[in-house]
Structure formats: structure tokens, C-alpha cells
């Protein structure tokens, strides 16, 4: 029980760490704390929004891959490679057998730390955008 909680906490820490690295990279590329408050809030919005979109997109790709969406592409690429290997056609199997074997190995996990982290950072980005629009939109920058 305690080990499972530690594993889950470690997964969330890694996800948040990666998202923060992306956020800090965006801050650094835009020159954070070098301009006025309005520009800094725009940079905060950009940083959190970009990291939220990237991490949420990775979560979506992992979900689609876990459901078996890319099995057909893997089957085609495997057969292309086997065509150029001598004796590779002996390893050929039908698509139904290949799909059943691959779906058997896919593991369904119950934790959604990547998605939760991505959506949280995305929400922070939207929040900073709303703050900027309500306070600084009509002001000259």
C-alpha cells in the first residue's frame, strides 16, 4: 500500500518536473522578469500554456497507443523490414494474429498523472491569460 503511494507520488513528481522544465524553458526564451508586469503575465501565460499543451498531447498519444491505434503501422513497418531480410518472409504472420499478440501485451494503467499534470498546467496558462485580458488588455505595453 505504501509502496503504491510512493510510486504514484514519484510519477506525479516526474510529470510535474518535466512540465516545469518546459515552462522554465519558455520563460527563459522569452526573457522573464525583463519587462513590465503586463509582459511578464503574458510570458507566464505562454509558459504554462505551452507546457500544458505538450504534456496533454503526450498523454493523448499514450492513450491512443495503449488502445492499439498504432498496431497497424507497426505491422506494416515490420513486414517492410522483413521483406529485405533474407529468410524474413518465414516470420510473416497474419494481421489478426499480430494484433492479438500485441493487444495481449498492452498494459492498462489506472493512474493518469500525465493527463492531470498537463491539464493543470493548461488551466494555469488559461488563468494567466484571463488575468492579462482583464487587467492589461487596453493598456499600452
Contact 65, 33 (CB under 8 A): no
Q: What is the pLDDT of residue 76?
A: 87
pTM > 0.85: no
Tens of pLDDT, residue by residue over 84-119, are 888 777 777 888 888 888 888 776 666 789 999 999
Annotated domain spans of the chain: 1-67+109-141, 71-105
Burial of 55 (0-12, 13-18, 19+ CB in 10 A): buried
Q: How far apart are CA 23 and CA 18, in angstroms?
A: 9
Give the closest residue to 95 by CA, choosing from 105, 106, 103: 103
Q: What is the pLDDT of residue 140?
A: 60
Q: What is the pLDDT of residue 108?
A: 65
Amino acid at each position: 500500500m505504501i509502496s503504491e503511494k510512493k510510486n504514484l507520488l514519484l510519477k506525479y513528481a516526474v510529470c510535474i518536473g518535466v512540465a516545469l522544465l518546459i515552462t522554465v524553458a519558455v520563460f527563459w526564451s522569452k526573457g522573464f522578469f525583463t519587462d513590465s508586469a503586463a509582459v511578464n503575465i503574458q510570458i507566464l501565460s505562454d509558459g504554462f500554456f505551452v507546457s500544458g499543451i505538450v504534456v496533454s498531447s503526450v498523454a493523448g498519444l499514450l492513450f491512443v497507443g495503449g488502445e492499439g491505434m498504432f498496431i497497424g503501422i507497426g505491422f506494416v513497418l515490420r513486414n517492410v523490414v522483413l521483406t529485405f531480410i533474407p529468410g524474413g518472409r518465414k516470420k510473416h504472420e497474419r494481421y489478426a494474429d499480430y494484433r492479438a499478440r500485441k493487444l495481449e501485451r498492452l498494459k492498462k494503467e489506472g493512474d493518469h498523472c500525465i493527463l492531470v499534470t498537463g491539464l493543470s498546467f493548461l488551466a494555469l496558462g488559461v488563468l494567466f491569460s484571463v488575468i492579462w485580458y482583464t487587467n492589461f488588455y487596453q493598456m499600452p505595453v
